[in-house]
Amino acid sequence: MSTLVIVESPTKARTIRNFLPSTYRVEASMGHVRDLPSSAEEIPEAVKGEKWAQLGVNVEADFEPLYVIPKDKKKIVKELKDALKDATELILATDEDREGESISWHLLQILKPKVPIKRMVFHEITREAIRDALTHCRDIDNRVVQAQETRRILDRLVGYTLSPLLWKKIAWGLSAGRVQSVAVRLLVRRERERRAFRQGSYWDLKALLTPPTPPLGKGGQGGAFDAKLVTVGNVKVANGSDFDENTGQIIAGRRVLLLNEEQARALLSRIQNKPWTVGNIEERPVTRKPSPPFTTSTLQQEANRKLRLGARETMRIAQSLYERGFITYMRTDSVHLSEQAIAAARSCVQELYGSEYLSPQPRKYTTKSKGAQEAHEAIRPAGSTFRTPQQTGLDGIDFRLYDLIWKRTVASQMADSRQTHVTVLTQVEDAGFRSSGKRIDFPGFLRAYVEGSDDPNAALEDQEVILPALKVGDKPNCKDLEAVGHETQPPARYTEASLVKMLESEGVGRPSTYASIIGTIVDRGYAKLIANALIPTFTAFAVTTLLETHFPDLVDTGFTSRMEQTLDEIATGEAKWLPYLQKFYTGETGLATQVKEQESQIDAKVARTVVLENISAKVCIGKFGAYLESESEEGLVKASIPQDLTPADLDPEQVEFLLKQKTEGPEKLGLHPETGEPIYVLIGSYGPYVQLGEVSETNKKPKRASLPKGTDKDSVTLDMAVSLLTLPRLLGSHPETGAKVQANLGMYGPYVVHDQGKVGKDYRSIKPPDDVLTIELDRALELLSQPKAARGRSKSATPLKELGAHPESGELINVYDGRYGPYVKHGDINASLSKDESVENFTLQKALDLLAAKEAAGGGKSSSKSKKSTKTAAAKSETATEKTAAKKTTAKKTTTATKKTTAKKTATATTAKKTTKSS
């Protein structure tokens, strides 16, 4: 007989087993074992006829949730029940947050244990922490469970009530969410600001000055320094902050001097070669304190800035580090450090930097946010002593994220940084110039951690701007003076880091959910992540406009923030969950009432139309994406908008070109020198391309070639178009195999390929300065001889989500983050999740269907188990048959298999697409 301990994940279970006696059995629930039904097939037969069944919440019966055990969890539940039969005690050891408390409660409801039950909580997985947690077990906190259940029901009510409305009025498959829709609105509002932005321009002068006498000693105290024009005739010279973003003009009421190029150059000529005088010197001491240790949101922000990691990827890596015992729990709103952690951090400072770098007193941080309910500690290295990054044995991105957490934690206990900011004002005639310098008198915590920089020492050097020793009345020499033009810039788009920061500052959602929210926004097609910026799509504009017009509260940050506060109050017992749900959903101004009233008032044609300033044509949302619609003399004209074109970048010139392409035909570059056929430049759904000949009954699919990435359609010449239409280019034969070597343009850019037919194809990307149109065989062979860059992730990569065991092979099936998005893997078969599929809601059954579809379509090789079975069968067959017959059979089988494989390959795209849609 033993004690059964249940945690969420296999990784966590494996780590904890090492710290418990052999009488303890540790099993994983693989996350939630019960949830509201995600599809019609999950609804029990007994309630399928009920109106509320699709919603999964019986609104009329005090919002009673309908919980079901998903198919992919039934086997896990059975295994846990079997394990419980041999146990004398049950310990529920899920995470100590709302989600973890809820998982434990659901386990209790399903397993119905007849043995003593304990709730064990910890926020780091070390031997000391686990042993200590065993002696301080508690009961399940029903108030926290109730708060989580209310949150889940609330999210379901919003999503399942508004999403069908969006399907009817805009497009099928769209989704709305309590926090998701607010986040999308933030992106759209910023993009509207960018469209409304009007650029302003201004000029000033920049001088390079040197002290009147050369610096003394070895290098002196500084040499040449910059000075910038700030006043003329005691009037401030305009800079970027003085412009109105909506007009491109100086803000009304500002008394500033706006210089144009002519005026700036005239001023330069007037003061050229005139004497300069130091009029004033100001030194201002500044003390900087270290930032608090990481919370979930600040870790996501800094990992995005420093490591270029998305919020979802950051949380995946942090989860893995936590489960393997390297860091404390990674979902926390708290900046608090335990006494043990403070001692460990101070010990690191003492040992690595010396006592002068320690803060005089231990720094204790407190969380200001009222909703900081994940109240354990900040994210820090695990244990009573901190392993340095080099001592962990970690590598790659795991190492870099741990290094970030370690540095931030250690720096939080270091001394203040002391700096001196120096300002020197110089005068030449009536023009005033300013020079700014910064001296780091004592680096303090900056020796270990500088925000936004991986190398503190290099960052310290970059931060210092040393001015030479000057005094009032000195006459510096002007070595160079130039006029500089500037243009104001539109508001920056949100990155994942800045969106997380905005959501947290507005009190919208909880930091532990931001990663999945941003992932959903991208997965659902509301935004594209390009160069680390979140760019909203036309669909996002349409959905946001509909919600702003008809359901303004639901996309209001203040309203959503107050919802969060109420949910927090339910967790502490300050508010009652049932009255709140009743008021929110079924009250006079409740969501259900609003939807019923507003649905008839929403014109679907208007809802699908996006209004953009300065665009005469209508932008509409269609089944296959956004398109333009315009009235002409010939009637209504429609033209697809390229998928990579965003609302902020659509201008009248592009609209005119796309419509003209439809009405007057494509732009003709010239005639092909060999065939005499016309060559056109067109823009399609996937961007600009060239086309040989016209589409006709006899030429339904004329030869086309996409333009290389970054090539503007206006820069395409006839020679370039002819060259592009020759792709793929045959470069010659491979000297070792005799197989052809080609250069071509693919979906992910230019490449060379060594095509050995049935043996396979070997690809290498073509990078600048090499060009797909000019690369020769020798260079291609050189590229092909280089090791292939690793694609995807190794088998040991940490999964985004663990789904469960394959019912036949027993192998674990997980969701991984691949180069082209999330995918599931079984044996040698990889299957990508569809764009509208959320990782969080993806189940084992969906994975099995997807993998089956991929295998049926000829994708991937058979699993290891299948290979083994095939070999065994072949061996038995050969033993029972004459060798000659076996050879013939084998040959026949090989031929048949080859034919089947070829047939499958031909049908792969269509079959896979249909099967995936069906599943």
Structure tokens at 267: 């001023």
Region label for 429, one of left (φ > 0), alpha (ψ between -120 and 50) or beta (otherwise): left
**Cα-Cα-Cα-Cα dihedral of 83, 85, 89, 94, to 10°?**
40
Which phi and psi (to 5°) does residue 674 adopt? -100, -45
DSSP string, 140-166: --HHHHHHHHHHHHHHHHHHHHHHHHH
Cα 108 to Cα 113: distance, rounded to the nearest angstrom: 7
How crowded is residue 171: how many other Cβ atoms within 10 Å of its Cβ? Answer: 19
Both tokens of 859, joined, read 């994708």
β-bridge mates for residue 250, sequence order = 243
Q: Which of 163, 184, 182, 300 is nearest to 535 (CA)?
A: 184
Q: How far apart are CA 616 and CA 630, in angstroms?
A: 8
Query: Could you give the count of Cα atoms lying within 13 Å of 426 in the half-sphere of its Cβ?
Result: 29
Query: Three-state SS for 859?
Result: coil
CA atoms within 13 A on the CB side of 320: 19
DSSP 357: G
Q: Catalytic: 580?
A: no
Token pair of 273 as six digits: 């070669």
Q: Which residues are CB-neighbours of 912 under 8 A, at least 6 positions away?
A: 853, 854, 857, 859
| Cα distance between residue 556 and residue 547, in whole Å | 10
Instruction: Using DSSP, state whether 883 is helix, strand or coil.
Output: helix
Q: Coil, helix or strand for 849?
A: helix
Residue among 120, 562, 98, 93 at smallest CA distance from 375? 98
Amino acid at 394: L
**CA atoms of 849 and 867, how far apart (whole Å):** 21
Nearest of 151, 188, 174 to residue 63 by alpha carbon = 151
Residues paired with 225 in a beta bridge: 209
Torsional class of 165: left (φ above 0), alpha (ψ -120 to 50), beta (otherwise): alpha
DSSP assigned state of 138: B
Integer Cα distance of 640 and 628 in angstroms: 6
Q: Are 478 and 433 in contact (CB under 8 A)?
A: no
205 contacts 431 by C-beta, under 8 angstroms: yes
Q: In what order do the strands lie in the sheet with 801-805?
A: 801-805, 812-818, 821-826, 829-832
SS3 label, residue 791? coil
CA distances 608 to 167, 190, 543, 621, Å, are: 11, 21, 8, 5
* Residues in contact with 436: Cβ distance below 8 Å, sequence separation at least 6, in sequence order: 421, 422, 423, 424, 465
231 forms beta bridges with: 236, 432
- For residue 185, the Cα-to-chain-centroid distance in whole angstroms is 17
Which tokens is 42 given? 């999950």
Report the distance separating Cα 225 and Cα 424, nearest Å: 10
Q: Please identify which of the residues 24, 202, 322, 329 carries the catalytic annotation.
A: 329
Active site residues: 329
